[in-house]
Structures are given as C-alpha cells and as structure tokens.
Amino acid sequence: MQVLSSVHAFQNQCLDLRCSGRVTALVPTMGYFHEGHLSLMRWARENADTVLVSLFVNPAQFGPAEDLDRYPRDLERDQDLARESGVDILFTPQADEVYSPNHDTWVDVPGLSTYLCGQSRPHFFRGVCTVVCKLLNMALPHTAVFGQKDWQQMVVITRMARDLNLPVQIVGRPIVREEDGLAMSSRNAYLSDQERRQAAHIYAGLQYIQDWVRDGETGTAKLKSRLEDYYARNIPSGRIDYVHFVHPWELTPVDRIDSQVLAAVAVHVGSARLIDNMLIQG
C-alpha cells in the first residue's frame, strides 16, 4: 500500500490509473477507522481494480464550537487497518495541501442542505461538498463509496455529482452497527460506559417507529412525539437535536407515512453528537 500526502503526487498517480483503464474506487474518510469504514473499503476492493482511501479531517465542515481539535486520530492504526482491507493508495494530505491560504471557492447544494443536519450545522454541507468535490477532482475515481449512516450527506453528494456532471458514480452502502444496534461512528469513542449503554436506544427507538406504523399510526407528528418520549425515558444523559421524517431523496418533510419515508435523528449523548436513520415502510 502506498501512502501519499502530496495532492500533486496523488492526482498524477490517479490520472495515470484512469488513463490506463484501471477501474478505481475512492472511499473518502476522516480516519479513526471502524468496521463501517472497513466495510466500504472491502466493497471497493471487490468492485474495483484499485482502491483509493482519503484520510483527511476536513476543517471546513466544523463550526467554531465543534470538535475539530479533539476529533479522534490514530494514523498508524489507520494505516494498518487500510492495508489489511486491501487498500492500494492511502491519501493523507495536510489542510494547507487541500486549502490554499487564499482559498475562496466553495461548493454548495442549498436545497438539500436545508433540512436535518443543515438546520443545526448550517456550515456543514458547504464544507463537505467542497472537500468531496476537491477529492473527486484529485482522485478521478469511477466510483466513490459512502456509508448510509450519513444519509443526508450521501444524498447531497449524489446531487452535487449529478448537477456538476462529475464522471463518478456515488455508491451508498448500508449502516454497520454494534451488536446492540448502535451505528458505528468515530465519535462513539467520546462516550462513557453509561452513555454508551444509553446510546443503543437511538436505534431501538427507530425500530419502534416501524412497529408503531404497522400498528396503524402513520401521522409523523404523533410518531415524533412518541420517539421523543422514548428517548427522554431511555437516554437521560441525551439531548435531542432533531427528529425528522422526510422524503428519502428530496429530504422534504412529510406529514404521513403512506410510502417509504426516512426517519432521521440526531442526539447529543454526553459530548458526542450521534446521528442515525432508518427507512420506514408505509
């Protein structure tokens, strides 16, 4: 496995791969790998000739009071895990390699960024779209692979790639969970033992929604109220950021579940902000 930190060297190598006819897949990450990341790498290994992984904690997607400085990092561990997962090139640039001192160009998908995480993190998707667009221009992959835990991010990036005619297929892969259902996340490392036990109820609550719908409750206002009550009882150290029911690909709010609807939540548990989602069948 090669480890490259130079944008110039990485882009030139990826251009050579594309021109030589090699099918390449990019897995963009912020590192501190867990099984969710590794599942994306293994999918890429099975579906591409060359697997590219970027490891970059993107400062542009963090707000002033967020966890950029303490975001978990362990480059040596991540290199070992990437190598074991069959990665061919690990790209580890520094911030000043990705953003020049007078950087002043941004990519935004304002409509899809309005809802869900965009309400409490208005800066977030501009930073995500900009860095992903830059990474796609550097790596020139045939496919780019994203986890569905960040469903809104996947939808926003898919729209960005379509609207900008980027020659890449965006692939979403299923959420990987712990045995008790908690969605794997690098930020799970922030949780105390007690908070970790409570955090498992985030997914358990989403599962109850499907049960309630099967029992005949399809109004999203009542479903939201039920879920918020469940979280209040079972995650006492938590604070709900949002509970939303939206169209899966337009992300617009829906009043009733009469077709497939995305239930998406964000909950602060201790110092960790955890997100999760589930497609609910009407």
CA pair distance 78, 72, nearest whole angstrom: 11
Helix (H) or strand (E) holding 2: strand 2-4
- Residue 247 designated active-site: no
SS3 137: helix
CA pair distance 40, 191, nearest whole angstrom: 24
Calculate ∠ Cα 250-251-257, nearest 5°.
100
Q: Which residues, at least 6 apart from 70, have a Cβ–Cβ distance to it below 8 Å?
A: none
- State the angle between helix axes of 124-139 and 7-19 in degrees (0 to 180), rounded to the nearest 10: 60
Q: Please, is 227 exposed, middle or buried when counting C-beta atoms within 10 Å of its C-beta (0-12, 13-18, 19+)?
A: buried
- CA pseudo-torsion sign 275, 170, 259, 254: positive
Active-site position among 8, 37, 201, 247: 37
Cβ 114 vs Cβ 120: under 8 Å: no
| Active site positions, annotated | 37
